[in-house]
Chain A
Amino acid sequence: MSDEKNGLSRRTLFQLAGIAGAAVAVEGCAERERRPIGPERNVQTTCGACPAGCGIVVRAVGPGSQDAVRITGLSGHPVNDGGMCPRGIAEIQNLYHPERLRGPLARQPATGKLEPIGWAEAFERLADKTRGSEVVFGAGDLGRGERQLLRGIAARREAAVVDARLPWGAAPVEAMREMLGSGEWRFDLPRATFVLSLGADWLQSFPSPVEAQRAFGAMREGPRRACVVTADARLSVTAARSNDWFPVARHHLPEFALSVAHAMVRMSPAVAARSPAFAALAGETRFGATETGKRLGIRPHLIDWTASGLGMGGVVVVDGADRGIEAAGMALNLVAGAIGRPGGVVAAALPPLPAGLGEPQARETGEFPRTRAAPVVILAAANPVQLALAGSGFREGLARASFVVSLSPFLDESAERADLVLPVSTPLESRNLTWGCTLDGRGFVSAGPAAVKPLYDTLEWPEALLRVGRALSVELPWKDAGAYFAAAAEALSAQDLLKKGGFKSLEQDPAPPSLPADPGAWAAETVRSALSRPGPGAFPLGLAVHVPLAFLGGSGAHLPYLHGIAQVSGREIWQTVVELHPDTARALHIPEGAPVWVDSARGSIQAVLRLRQGIRPDSAGLALGLGRKALGAFAAERGTNPLDLVESAEPAFVRVRGAT
């Protein structure tokens, strides 16, 4: 009775409050309702955000536990051991992004617009268009298995595969292949005692981000405490966290490597035997520390110091952006005796490939085949409109194409121009089975089920690729993704892992690969030609492009949480910043924060000027990742794309002028 009375009076009170509230009720002040928590589930699986293959635990709640709300690292996993990278955590935003594709789209000839279409019809159309046509694949950031699948299909269809990944931050695969016979080598950072980062901002852009961070943590641990030095034009995150930063302009990096090699050979002439060709080049007097130091604007003793550090068991980390730097860095590793040494560059131990994923495999090229007149282009996670370098000819190839197919979870810049858009699932909605090798050369297999059911009418990557293959009349031994996963898991004895999620380490040691007679000959050749490249002319500033971890591989700008960390050493968010030294800006009479134009021989982009001491006065720093034209409010028309300035990943030169 009294309760009822209380209830009544409370209700009246609420009504009164409601009336009072209505007087001030505006949309902004309305209370939020809570979502039901529902049954909770922790799904152990493998991250598919990048090919590294971290173990993760996804917390799923809500009705049917289908809402992924938290991702944590899986303890003990050989790749991440409980750690996460920001991109992995942001997968939740990728999954629930409003701009995601809901189903396949096809361009209607009548309207010229992309309209929804059924899957069966989509693949029929693909089969129609490809019949008798040449096919070119563009392969972006695919998982290891998916990449093998794609290359297998391409090989059977005699189609070309163009590597559409961003070269900045990629492994120096070309140098490894040319010098060491295979691309499967790892920088053994966890065991390294001395690390020279040669123009590589590896803490931010590394093929396996969590491993890079973990390796750094391991290096800093204990009494051993490895020494890290970074030679780069700007004080990158890696340089900032290094023991020392050598400001070397990007186009001077091969020379810097040569002078270090020069010093090493002088210290102990025996090392020249490791690569006579490269040692001969480095032995030229112009690469003496004093002379080189003067030419490059750095202190000569630093070169000697680096040489002694490397000589005592160090490793040089380079990325695959520029062939000259790549070759110089790997040759330096060779001279330092780092190849095959623990704490140096070690061969990867990989499990035997599942049947059907091995040969035949199409070779990936960096350039779009120019001979093909009007090919059908199939883009697998590739976005050449945004990310292809001008020199690769991919954009022209796309313009020439008779038919363009895009496989991607999003309607990105390239998909917008495609004739057929086939949406694939995001990693959290897909099963994942991957294998690889950690930085210290230990092989592993990691797998797991889909964390949540697919939100939309999308296909898992293997399924999409297999059906593309069938449309190209390529027969692979699996009828669908289920069969593929089952077969691959069996071959890797990972059936349990695929169901319950998890990892296993491989025990076998890699067979020591046989090196060519003088592995450095190719490097010496490549570096020699890099030395003869033109220096700064009308464009006085060396361009130092870098890829922040937030936008690794050039993607990720559509994920709002990543923008908070995109400018690690600055304050500007959602805008492209050009970094200059204060002296340089003073000479140009441009104040900090002013809008500027950055011009190169190839084009111009707009940016905002930031002054910092941590950049060479003869260089300009720009970050990749912004300047998108698609992908919704968080990405489209924010900032500019520095790739518009360059022909290739080779060192480029720019000019900065005020935009008023």
Chain B
Amino acid sequence: MAVDLDRCTACGACTVACAQENNVALGNPDRPDQLIRWMEILPAERGKYPEVSARLAPSPCQHCDREPPCARVCPVYATYRNVEGLIPQIYEQCIGCRYCVNACPYTCKHFNWSRPEFPAPFERGLNPDVSVRNAGVMEKCNFCYHRLQVVRDTAAQEGREPKLGEYRTACQESCPTKAIRFGDLDGELEGVRENERAFTLLEDLGLMPKVIYLKEKTS
């Protein structure tokens, strides 16, 4: 995934699209600290008044390519790096120890502190492709993995290979400025890594996140 921070306007469409697509818990107003949103806009203010600037970066799970810290410490294989290089979360396998998120330098995983409730008729708006989680398990962005499955199934039915750009995430789809792009680094996102503006979060930890940011242009 590539996020062009020069185009991003922090409108939050990605956050809401992601929540809607992935049946994310609504949240409890009494416990805002237990809110779950897989895609978040991280605000970071720099400098002193009046020379202040802010970076507003949409931030999903970073899908570390090299030894994801969460998968390293998981005691039960609930999270791991799969053959596609994505880091899924298996809700039925998770025991809810929360070691993964404490080991994650990005803290980009979420815990279901209580059972996600969708008071009727909210449940009619749930995406049938995605399960609703139980209380006590971790969850996080999985790059809309269910969409990859749909793309594969469709392609298989039609007897072809999945097309370039066919697998799109909900955040990418909703982004009004097309700041979020998604795909293979040697396919849809060719050349992104070589872009002079490219950087990743906490680069020095060497985790090689698959979310690549393009920093704001200066001119």
Contacts and interface: CB of A to CB of B under 8 A. Distances in A.
Do A and B belong to a common assembly?
yes
A648 interface: no
A572 B121 CA distance: 28
Interface stretch (B72-80, B99-107, B112-120, B205-213): B112-120
A617 B177 CA distance: 33
B94 interface: no
B50 interface: yes
A214 B179 CA distance: 10
A612 B175 contact: no
Interface stretch (A115-123, A258-266, A557-565): A557-565
A92 to B, nearest CB: 4
A573 B115 CA distance: 20
A217 interface: yes
Interface string B16-49: 1101110010110100100101001101010111
A98 interface: yes
Interface string A200-225: 00011000011011101100110001
A72 B126 contact: no
Contacts of B123: 35, 96
Contact of B32 (A241, A572, A613): A572
B131 A34 contact: yes
Given A241-B56, A573-B35, A35 B128 contact: yes
Given A86-B15, A98-B122, A245 B52 contact: yes
B135 A216 contact: no
A575 interface: yes
A62 B49 CA distance: 54
Contact of B178 (A31, A204, A217, A561): A217
B9 A96 contact: no
A216 B177 contact: yes
A425 to B, nearest CB: 14
Nearest to A215: B177
A80 interface: yes
A560 B26 contact: yes
Contact of A564 (B15, B48, B179): B15
A554 to B, nearest CB: 17
A312 interface: no
Contact of B127 (A70, A80, A88): A70
Nearest to B132: A32
Nearest to B6: A220
Contact of A240 (B50, B54, B173, B175): B54
B12 interface: yes
B219 A225 contact: yes
Contacts of B114: 28
B192 interface: no
Interface residue SS majority, chain B: loop
A214 B41 contact: no
Interface in A537-575: 549-550, 560-565, 568-575
B126 to A, nearest CB: 7
B122 A93 contact: yes
A83 B13 contact: yes
B134 interface: yes
A89 B21 CA distance: 10
B121 A96 contact: yes
A565 B124 contact: no
A89 B174 contact: yes
Nearest to A85: B13
Contacts, number: 207
Given A216-B9, A217-B9, A225-B217, A617 B49 contact: yes
Interface in A240-264: 240-241, 243, 245, 247
A226 to B, nearest CB: 10
Contacts of A209: 11
Contacts of A28: 114-115, 134-136
A549 B12 contact: yes
A564 B27 contact: yes
A298 B12 CA distance: 31
A574 B16 contact: no
B13 A84 contact: yes
B53 interface: yes
A455 interface: yes
Contact of A217 (B7, B48, B128): B7
A96 B178 contact: no
Nearest to A97: B122
Nearest to B123: A35
Given A37-B128, A96-B125, A89 B35 contact: no
Given A28-B136, A564-B15, A614-B54, A210 B176 contact: yes
Interface string A62-74: 1000011111110
Contact of A35 (B53, B119, B126, B217): B126
Given A561-B16, A614-B49, A83 B121 contact: no
A26 B146 CA distance: 30
A561 B119 CA distance: 14
Given A29-B136, A455-B121, A568 B177 contact: no
A93 B125 contact: yes
Interface string A139-153: 000000000000000
B10 interface: yes
Nearest to B44: A569
Contacts of A203: 9-11
A638 interface: yes
Contacts of A522: none
B126 A69 contact: yes
Contacts of B136: 28-29
Contact of B135 (A29, A562, A634): A29
A67 B26 CA distance: 18
Q: Which of B32, B50, B119, B173 has the most CB of A within 10 A?
A: B50
B43 A570 contact: yes
A580 to B, nearest CB: 11
Interface in A1-60: 27-29, 31-32, 34-37
28 contacts: A28-B114, A29-B136, A67-B124, A67-B125, A84-B174, A86-B12, A89-B17, A96-B125, A203-B9, A210-B176, A213-B9, A213-B11, A213-B176, A214-B176, A217-B7, A217-B9, A217-B176, A235-B52, A240-B53, A241-B8, A241-B56, A561-B15, A561-B20, A561-B26, A563-B27, A565-B11, A612-B45, A613-B48
Given A37-B129, A69-B125, A83-B177, 5 more contacts: A72-B174, A89-B17, A225-B217, A560-B27, A614-B49
Interface of A: 27-29, 31-32, 34-37, 61-62, 67-73, 80, 82-86, 88-90, 92-93, 95-98, 203-204, 209-210, 212-214, 216-217, 220-221, 225, 227, 235, 237, 240-241, 243, 245, 247, 298, 455, 549-550, 560-565, 568-575, 581, 612-617, 633-634, 638
Q: Please give me the 9 A-B residue pairs with the lowest Cβ-Cβ distance, nearest first.
A: A83-B176, A565-B12, A217-B177, A240-B54, A573-B32, A213-B176, A86-B16, A560-B26, A28-B135
